[in-house]
Structures are given as C-alpha cells and as structure tokens.
Amino acid sequence: MAGGAVWVKGATRNSQDKMVQRAKEDLAEVLGIEDMPELVGKIKLVSVTPVTWPDSQLGYLQAGLKKQQGINPGFLIKLEYSGREYTYHTSFSRVVYVPTGKGMPPLPANAM
C-alpha cells in the first residue's frame, strides 16, 4: 500500500520496512557477518506478512521472559541467506528470531 496507508491497526509501510531492516540486522549478527557488507547484502527477504500475535512473546516463548496474554500486532518475516530460510516474529518495536519448527502460528492481521 502506497503513501503510508494503514493496513493493519497501527502499521504503515514504513513500520513494515523498519522491522524487515531490523530482522536483517539481527540475522547478520546471528550469522556473525554484521561487519561484512558484501555478505550482509546477500540476506534476502522471502516474505513479510502482517499478523497478530496472541501474547507478549510474539508467539515464541523465550527462557527467562514471562508470557502475558494480549494481542500484539506485527509481522511474520521470512529471510533467506545462503539457501537457508530464517523466521522472525515482530511487533512494531522488536524482532525475535524463531528457530525452525519452533514458535506458534500467528492470528490473522485483522484479529484485533
């Protein structure tokens, strides 16, 4: 949607682009390539989907963090690097790397 049109409560194209960039930066750190721009540039966006997460952990319970029920709008982001796919769950302010086969499925974006 052009022009910053709202297409999930609170989200704009700018918020989507920002979270994709943050996911790419996090993946570069996870892979240990953050200081190698030629490799960072090879991280590709596979898909980004506006979703609603059913809890404060964005559908992925992390050790040491308390899970709280509550609807959190965000994105399901899939990235690819060197033939391998990586999944990120986001709100509008944070990204969470979710290992393959882990995490809960999101609710539809309009489930608010």
In this predicted structure, what is the pLDDT of residue 71? Answer: 80
- Confidence at residue 41, expressed as pLDDT on a 0 to 100 scale: 95
Cα 34 to Cα 89: distance, rounded to the nearest angstrom = 20
pTM higher than 0.75 for the full model?
Answer: yes
Q: Which residue has the higher pLDDT, 112 or 109?
A: 109
- Candidates 59, 65, 52, 57; CA nearest to 9 is 52
Identify whether 3 is part of a domain: no
Is 19 domain-assigned?
yes
Nearest to 22 by CA among 43, 3, 51, 1: 43
Q: Do the domain assignments include residue 86?
A: yes
Express each pLDDT in 44-81 by its tens digit: 999 999 999 888 889 887 766 665 667 888 999 999 99
Range of the domain at 90: 9-108
